[in-house]
Chain A
Amino acid sequence: MKRNFSRRDFLRLTSIGALAAALPWTLEGCGDGESPVPFFSSSERATLEAAAERILPPQAAIGPLEAGAVDYIEGLLTAFEYNPPRIFAGGPYSGRRPYPDNATGRPSQDYPPNSFDRFLPLSRVKEIAWRVRLYGSDSVPGGDFNDAVLAPTLGLRTRYSEGVQQLDAKAQELFAGPFSALTPELQDEALLQSDRDFAFLLTEHLLEGMYGDPAYGGNRDESGWRSVGFDGDSQPLGFSIYDASTGTYKERAGAPLSGPNPSEDYAGFDDEVLELVANIVSGTGGKRFS
């Protein structure tokens, strides 16, 4: 992969490179309730939030801002400032859904504790993988084992720093202002003309932040799930409850397993969606039945 001279390359060439590489290891992890130093400055954050709103505008009054999608990205990039690192949320249950009552086949009033917020300790090699992903393969001891064959892995932190900077630079170059201050139309234009890889990276993480579990900092209060009508995590209740008294199942009235939704509309898709779907179907040699 060809790329421009970066901050990472600079660090390699100077004596502070070794220190910078060691830094993640020497940081004391934050305990519960402590906040690490934010990765993004307030102006970087403003740029990202503005871009996020253009990529995925609010639906039912919930957009990336309301759902905290940029908080999700911030959380990913600062994962190693917590101990254990905030990479894999715990399990088995979020504490948001109750246990089933198998004596009656109905939901109980008993809720499990939230174990999602107890992040899992990383094994030696998983720690290498995630440090490489965040800090880059040449900044992590033991992380550069394929760099000579496959090219180095650029760390996400570097990609975000540089990506935001370039997006603002593009806004400045085209429209003489910081990205966040542009009109939505000009923001769209700046995004279109900016680095495509970064726009994809941001989109990918934005969608994870909207629709991933709230434990990772986005999808605040399940707002992302609500905005698209998704049930979210369902354990330990699930969608069918074994009734020991009859040896059969009961389903949840509002969220059936075996039949259509109670208030289901059969309206299908609107014209624009229909057109997109029809294109996919004809492009793959499929068939329209109705």
Chain B
Amino acid sequence: MSLPSRAPDILGETGLSSFDAIVIGSGAGGSTVAYALTKHGKNVLVLETGDNYFPGLDDPAPGNPVPLFSNDELKFRIRHLIEPDPLLEPRTFRESEADGDRAFTGDVNGLPRNVGGGAVHADMKYPRFQKTDFLLGSLLGDVPAANFADWPLTYDELEPFYTEVEHLVGVQGEHGSDPFASEHSRPFPMPPGAPMYVALLAAEGARKLGYAPFPYPTAVNSRPYGGRPACVDCGMCSGYGCPNNSKGSPAVTFLRTALLTGRCQLRYNATVSRLITSGRGASVDAVEYIGPDGNTQQATADVVVLAASAIEDARLCLLSDADGDGLGNASGQVGRNLMFHYQTTGVGLFKQRLHGHRGRAITHGMSDFRGVPGDPQRPLAGVIEFGASTELVFEAKTYALSLFQRGPMLAKLLQQSPLRDHLMGLTMQAEDAPQLSNRVDLDPAVRDVYGLPVPRITYKNHDFELSAREFYTPKLIELLGAAGAQFAFVAPPDTPSGSRHIMGTLRMGDDPSSSVCDRYGKFHDIENLYCADGGVFVTSSGFNPTLTIQALALRAAGNIVSPGSPERVLTL
């Protein structure tokens, strides 16, 4: 009973046999670390649990890679090509311990598993955080039952890393167009691309009400950049891998550069199951993983970097100390302070067709609802994305399976398309208050296909974000009306949250008693273990997290290369 054989699942320099660093995860954080370490002469092994859809990623010939991605709703949205398949890697969810072991099993905030990581499915909105986002512990004071704290670094310290990443991946945007943005030392490397009709209508409505819409900073080429072509606005962007590499995806930017140095080896379909420690857990000696054939293997290096996303990083710490409290968990904080952006979607239905399926998902947004820390008249929520990204099969299933329509009425709804072609969606990415009780631990019974306990998410919203939603709901509806909607409403929130912005669980801080990682992402308790993704976030901010993940990852790698002087990896 043998399965069909496949080529060895390795990219990059296959001849490497000893490594300075092992990076777990090939997404936004891991790719950035691999880039910076290999650039500075280190040999790096990247382990990626998912498959590779970028054949030729390690081929220096121009035109490579030729992705296996496409404008195919079934492959991406229905059949789990890149998202974790709930039959293989379910997660469990409960709001609190009162729900028992679990209330739901299936897809819980799953990020894509593939070379290039979660960012493959992103439409690459790349805003920076604001200066005040790093200071919410001080600015908000005591918020009962929440765990707000200042970050152990400032915006000014991170600014050069933001700038470097924006230029390396290629971010389009209009310098100075967001009046609430903190200062940028350099303008965006590319101007905004073509605007979407739906976004222009929303922006016009916003201006009527005195708001300040702007072209959304987006890591998508608006002209040829970095050897990759301009985006053609194909429309199948959010949720899809990019067929022509015009998205500045971590795979085709940082990871490809790393692979072409000859100092990087990437093993995919390689699922890390455990970190093996010595010296009572003071250092990581080896990384154990399950290879493409299902056999367990080990790899060793001086430094290990967790970059498998906030939920999987924390899970790995817990899996690695099955009889104890979890690796690096002297603070008791591992897995806690799990945050998602609390997403509120305002829906406008227009008389005319808006063809939101044309374009790169989001072309404009506004920061007016981000608010001001401590001002009750302007509660903290988040950026608003002006968009419309319902898809056809999804739309059809909504009518048939959620609204129970069939026969001539189903046919008519598909023709008139109120919930797709006439739809404007305004999504607010609101600050999600960190709470000790919102956490990742291991499910006591449910396993993944590798036989490992799956992550269990225990998560309930705080009044902080619930009241912000209530505050901004009428304003969202007013905005949709000003944009010309015939109808407007706010979609009910999902439980579990459908957010793919996943943060916290390995919070960074200066005090080892209240944080897991230090200001560079190094574990306080473990001398050679780092985290380089959203796991280290102290608070969630109200802006898409990927750019900040990469800026922090670049800084973490800088600290590995030159401890205490991470800025030495900067080139701009």
Question: At the interface, yes or no: A266 with Cβ under 8 Å from chain B?
Answer: yes
Is B489 within 8 A of A285, CB to CB?
yes
Distance to closest chain A CB from B330 (angstroms) = 32
Is A289 within 8 A of B488, CB to CB?
yes
Question: At the interface, yes or no: A93 with Cβ under 8 Å from chain B?
Answer: yes
Is A125 within 8 A of B414, CB to CB?
no
Is B481 within 8 A of A289, CB to CB?
yes
Selected from A22, A55, A92, A153, the residue in CB contact (under 8 A) with B87 is: A153
Is A216 within 8 A of B397, CB to CB?
no
Is B486 within 8 A of A149, CB to CB?
no
Distance to closest chain A CB from B305 (angstroms) = 24
Question: At the interface, yes or no: B497 with Cβ under 8 Å from chain A?
Answer: no
- Residues of B contacting A260 in the complex (Cβ-Cβ under 8 angstroms): 197, 352-353
Question: At the interface, yes or no: B208 with Cβ under 8 Å from chain A?
Answer: no
Question: At the interface, yes or no: B165 with Cβ under 8 Å from chain A?
Answer: no
Question: At the interface, yes or no: B4 with Cβ under 8 Å from chain A?
Answer: yes
Distance to closest chain B CB from A172 (angstroms) = 22
Selected from B241, B359, B406, B415, the residue in CB contact (under 8 A) with A59 is: B415
Smallest Cβ-Cβ distance to B485: which chain A residue: A289
Q: Which one of A4-12, A159-167, A173-181, A201-209 is at the interface?
A: A201-209
Question: At the interface, yes or no: A150 with Cβ under 8 Å from chain B?
Answer: yes
- Residues of A contacting B233 in the complex (Cβ-Cβ under 8 angstroms): 238-240, 257
Q: Which one of A30-38, A39-47, A81-89 is at the interface?
A: A81-89
Q: Which one of B77-85, B140-148, B369-377, B512-520 is at the interface?
A: B77-85
A236-B243 in contact given A127-B3, A213-B74, A242-B224 (Cβ < 8 Å) = yes
- Residues of B contacting A103 in the complex (Cβ-Cβ under 8 angstroms): none
Selected from B78, B358, B422, the residue in CB contact (under 8 A) with A239 is: B358
Is B3 within 8 A of A234, CB to CB?
no
Q: How far is the CA of A244 from the CA of B416 in the complex (A)?
A: 38
Is A146 within 8 A of B446, CB to CB?
yes
Q: How far is the CA of A84 from the CA of B222 in the complex (A)?
A: 37
Question: At the interface, yes or no: A288 with Cβ under 8 Å from chain B?
Answer: yes
Is A123 within 8 A of B51, CB to CB?
yes
Question: At the interface, yes or no: A2 with Cβ under 8 Å from chain B?
Answer: no
Is B392 within 8 A of A230, CB to CB?
yes
Is B416 within 8 A of A270, CB to CB?
yes
Selected from B72, B235, B411, the residue in CB contact (under 8 A) with A89 is: B72
Q: How far is the CA of A87 from the CA of B433 in the complex (A)?
A: 41
- Residues of B contacting A141 in the complex (Cβ-Cβ under 8 angstroms): 1
Selected from A216, A225, A284, the residue in CB contact (under 8 A) with B492 is: A284
Is A288 within 8 A of B193, CB to CB?
no
Question: At the interface, yes or no: A245 with Cβ under 8 Å from chain B?
Answer: no
Q: How far is the CA of A183 from the CA of B157 in the complex (A)?
A: 74
- Residues of B contacting A278 in the complex (Cβ-Cβ under 8 angstroms): 487
Question: At the interface, yes or no: A133 with Cβ under 8 Å from chain B?
Answer: yes
Q: How far is the CA of A115 from the CA of B70 in the complex (A)?
A: 9
Is A235 within 8 A of B200, CB to CB?
no
- Residues of A contacting B415 in the complex (Cβ-Cβ under 8 angstroms): 59, 228-229
Q: How far is the CA of A88 from the CA of B73 in the complex (A)?
A: 11
Q: Which one of B20-28, B61-69, B130-138 is at the interface?
A: B61-69
A242-B230 in contact given A123-B292, A125-B449, A234-B71 (Cβ < 8 Å) = yes
Q: How far is the CA of A92 from the CA of B244 in the complex (A)?
A: 7
- Residues of B contacting A26 in the complex (Cβ-Cβ under 8 angstroms): 1
- Residues of A contacting B87 in the complex (Cβ-Cβ under 8 angstroms): 128-129, 132-133, 137, 153
Is B353 within 8 A of A211, CB to CB?
no
Is A92 within 8 A of B416, CB to CB?
no
Q: How far is the CA of A236 from the CA of B349 in the complex (A)?
A: 30
Q: How far is the CA of A259 from the CA of B51 in the complex (A)?
A: 39
Interfacial residues of chain B within 346-386, with CB under 8 A of chain A in the complex = 347, 349, 351-353, 355, 357-359
Selected from B78, B411, B448, B490, the residue in CB contact (under 8 A) with A57 is: B411
User: How many A residues, CB 8 Å from partner?
Assistant: 103
Selected from A200, A273, A286, the residue in CB contact (under 8 A) with B418 is: A273
Interfacial residues of chain B within 518-564, with CB under 8 A of chain A in the complex = none
Smallest Cβ-Cβ distance to A248: which chain B residue: B194
Q: How far is the CA of A129 from the CA of B193 in the complex (A)?
A: 40
Q: How far is the CA of A264 from the CA of B70 in the complex (A)?
A: 29
Is A289 within 8 A of B486, CB to CB?
yes
Selected from B6, B66, B487, the residue in CB contact (under 8 A) with A289 is: B487
Is B396 within 8 A of A264, CB to CB?
no
Is B236 within 8 A of A233, CB to CB?
yes
Smallest Cβ-Cβ distance to A277: which chain B residue: B418
- Residues of B contacting A280 in the complex (Cβ-Cβ under 8 angstroms): 403, 489
Distance to closest chain B CB from A283 (angstroms) = 8
A239-B74 in contact given A129-B88, A141-B1, A200-B401 (Cβ < 8 Å) = no
Is A55 within 8 A of B410, CB to CB?
yes
Question: At the interface, yes or no: A111 with Cβ under 8 Å from chain B?
Answer: no
Is A240 within 8 A of B477, CB to CB?
no
Question: At the interface, yes or no: A13 with Cβ under 8 Å from chain B?
Answer: no
Is B488 within 8 A of A88, CB to CB?
no
Is A286 within 8 A of B477, CB to CB?
yes
Encoded as 1 (CB less than 8 Å from any B CB) or 0, chain A from 189 to 233 comes to 000000000001001100110111101100000000101111111
Is B352 within 8 A of A56, CB to CB?
no
Is A142 within 8 A of B449, CB to CB?
yes
- Residues of B contacting A239 in the complex (Cβ-Cβ under 8 angstroms): 232-235, 358-359
- Residues of A contacting B241 in the complex (Cβ-Cβ under 8 angstroms): 91
Is A56 within 8 A of B410, CB to CB?
yes
Question: At the interface, yes or no: A17 with Cβ under 8 Å from chain B?
Answer: no
Is B71 within 8 A of A121, CB to CB?
no
Is A100 within 8 A of B232, CB to CB?
yes
Is B355 within 8 A of A268, CB to CB?
no
Is A211 within 8 A of B393, CB to CB?
yes
- Residues of B contacting A3 in the complex (Cβ-Cβ under 8 angstroms): none
Distance to closest chain A CB from B107 (angstroms) = 13
Smallest Cβ-Cβ distance to A53: which chain B residue: B407
Question: At the interface, yes or no: B294 with Cβ under 8 Å from chain A?
Answer: yes
Interfacial residues of chain B within 164-197, with CB under 8 A of chain A in the complex = 193-197
- Residues of B contacting A287 in the complex (Cβ-Cβ under 8 angstroms): 477, 481, 487-489
Smallest Cβ-Cβ distance to B409: which chain A residue: A272
Distance to closest chain B CB from A127 (angstroms) = 6
Interfacial residues of chain B within 218-275, with CB under 8 A of chain A in the complex = 222-224, 229-236, 241, 243-244, 269
6 closest pairs, A vs B, by CB? A238-B232, A286-B489, A91-B70, A233-B71, A92-B243, A242-B230
Interface residues of B (CB under 8 A from A): 1-4, 6, 51, 53, 66-75, 78-81, 85, 87-88, 90, 105, 193-197, 200, 222-224, 229-236, 241, 243-244, 269, 292-294, 347, 349, 351-353, 355, 357-359, 392-393, 396-397, 400-401, 403, 405-418, 421-422, 445-451, 477, 481, 485-492
- What are 9 A-B contacts defined by CB distance under 8 Å? A91-B243, A123-B292, A212-B73, A234-B235, A234-B358, A257-B359, A268-B351, A281-B489, A288-B486
Other 5 A-B pairs with CB < 8 A, given A126-B51, A129-B85, A242-B229: A58-B411, A84-B4, A133-B87, A215-B72, A234-B236
Interface residues of A (CB under 8 A from B): 22, 25-26, 54-59, 83-84, 87-94, 100, 102, 115-116, 120-121, 123-129, 132-133, 137, 141-142, 145-146, 149-150, 153, 188, 200, 203-204, 207-208, 210-213, 215-216, 225, 227-242, 244, 247, 249, 251, 255-261, 264-270, 272-273, 276-278, 280-281, 284-290
